[in-house]
A and B are shown apart, each in its own frame.
Chain A
Amino acid sequence: KNQVEQSPQSLIILEGKNCTLQCNYTVSPFSNLRWYKQDTGRGPVSLTIMTFSENTKSNGRYTATLDADTKQSSLHITASQLSDSASYICVVSARAMGYGGSQGNLIFGKGTKLSVKP
């Protein structure tokens, strides 16, 4: 069964510190892996998308890594800010035939809730 597991469930860090969020998946066949940030009461916003051939991708202070062999990804946040407080969702897309394509086969993790304290 296609699954995406994230850890930890929640995390509290002090402003200015770094942190790393983990994502393990059992999705096949793999198309791409995405990280989204979801602020409370808002929709998810894309941070990065990585395909099979990419193992690192950065977006400002966010750096995602992908190990397609071990089916693991991480999201590293550098010099955290109060505005980084949010849920971070790992999403894996399964390559699929038919109408839905890869966009119709997004498997969502439950998210990691990050709180950055002053």
Chain B
Amino acid sequence: NAGVTQTPKFQVLKTGQSMTLQCAQDMNHEYMSWYRQDPGMGLRLIHYSVGAGITDQGEVPNGYNVSRSTTEDFPLRLLSAAPSQTSVYFCASSFTATSNTEAFFGQGTRLTVV
């Protein structure tokens, strides 16, 4: 019962560095997404994917790239880290994009950019 697995749990980056946050799900869900959670704000959608090979931008996509080569994996790439990207990042998956079913979240990656 792994569900949604995110790695790493914690990361410190220097400004300008790049990195990839990993996300994998083992529930054969079509829909996957990335959110960021900042103090005093609700979760905000960064990018999402409705299936392998299909991705699209969410509310706050700037500075991030995604790809979906398999149903299971949905990595999030930070191209050139900035202090404004300090946040907690959550990956989520659900059965389909249009289903009224719950979204399953990973445990989060706490990223600090210095």
State the A residues within 8 Å of B (CB): 4, 31-32, 34, 41-46, 49, 51, 89, 93, 99-104, 106-111
Whether a CB of chain A sits under 8 angstroms from the CB of B96 is yes
Residue from B43, B44, B92, B97 in contact with A100 in the complex, judged by beta carbons closer than 8 Å: B97
Contact in complex: A101, B97 (CB < 8 Å):
yes
Contact in complex: A101, B42 (CB < 8 Å):
no
**B32-47 residues at the A interface, CB under 8 angstroms:** 33, 40-45
Q: A45-B105, A110-B40 are in contact. Are A103 and B58 (CB under 8 A)?
A: no
Whether a CB of chain A sits under 8 angstroms from the CB of B48 is yes
Provide the residues of chain B in CB contact with A4, threshold 8 Å: 42
Contact in complex: A99, B108 (CB < 8 Å):
no
Provide the residues of chain A in CB contact with B100, threshold 8 Å: 31-32, 49, 51, 93, 102
Residue tally, chain B, CB below 8 Å to A: 30
Contact in complex: B96, A101 (CB < 8 Å):
yes
In the complex formed, the residue of A with least CB distance to B48 is A104
3 closest residue pairs by CB, A with B: A108-B42, A101-B97, A43-B105
Contact in complex: A43, B106 (CB < 8 Å):
yes
25 contacts between A and B (CB under 8 A): A32-B100, A34-B103, A41-B107, A43-B4, A43-B92, A43-B105, A43-B108, A44-B43, A44-B90, A49-B100, A89-B43, A99-B50, A99-B56, A100-B50, A101-B50, A101-B99, A102-B99, A102-B100, A103-B98, A103-B103, A104-B48, A104-B97, A108-B42, A110-B40, A111-B42
Q: A51-B100, A110-B42 are in contact. Are A103 and B31 (CB under 8 A)?
A: yes
Give the CA-CA distance A106 to B98 in the complex, in Å. Answer: 11
In the complex formed, the residue of B with least CB distance to A44 is B105
